[in-house]
Amino acid sequence: MPNRVTPEHVGSRVTFQYELPNGYVSEVVGILRWFDEAAQTFVVEDRDGRLVRVPARGVRHGRPVVVRPG
């Protein structure tokens, strides 16, 4: 599945599965805080308040999370 998260999603809840340059694969779910244009990196705040940097080129799966009232 392609990356559907864009810099316009700042402030939204997002989910990513991504691969780092060393081959390590990880996942993060949280609030997209900003997109670092110079580094081509999404910065996501996870549920513990940690900032996770997700390289745009390493994204395997990325999408905004839709919260449905219920």
Domain ranges of the chain: 7-64
Query: pLDDT at position 41, please?
Result: 97
Question: What's the whole-model pTM score?
Answer: 0.90
The answer to whether residue 40 scores a pLDDT higher than 90 is yes
**C-alpha 43: how far from its chain's center?**
7
- Domain 7-64: CATH class, spelled out: mainly beta
Residue type, 22: N
**CA-atom Rg of the chain in angstroms:** 11
Nearest alpha carbon to residue 34 among 59, 4, 14? 14
pLDDT value for 9: 96
Q: Residue 27: which of 38, 19, 35 has the closest Cα?
A: 19
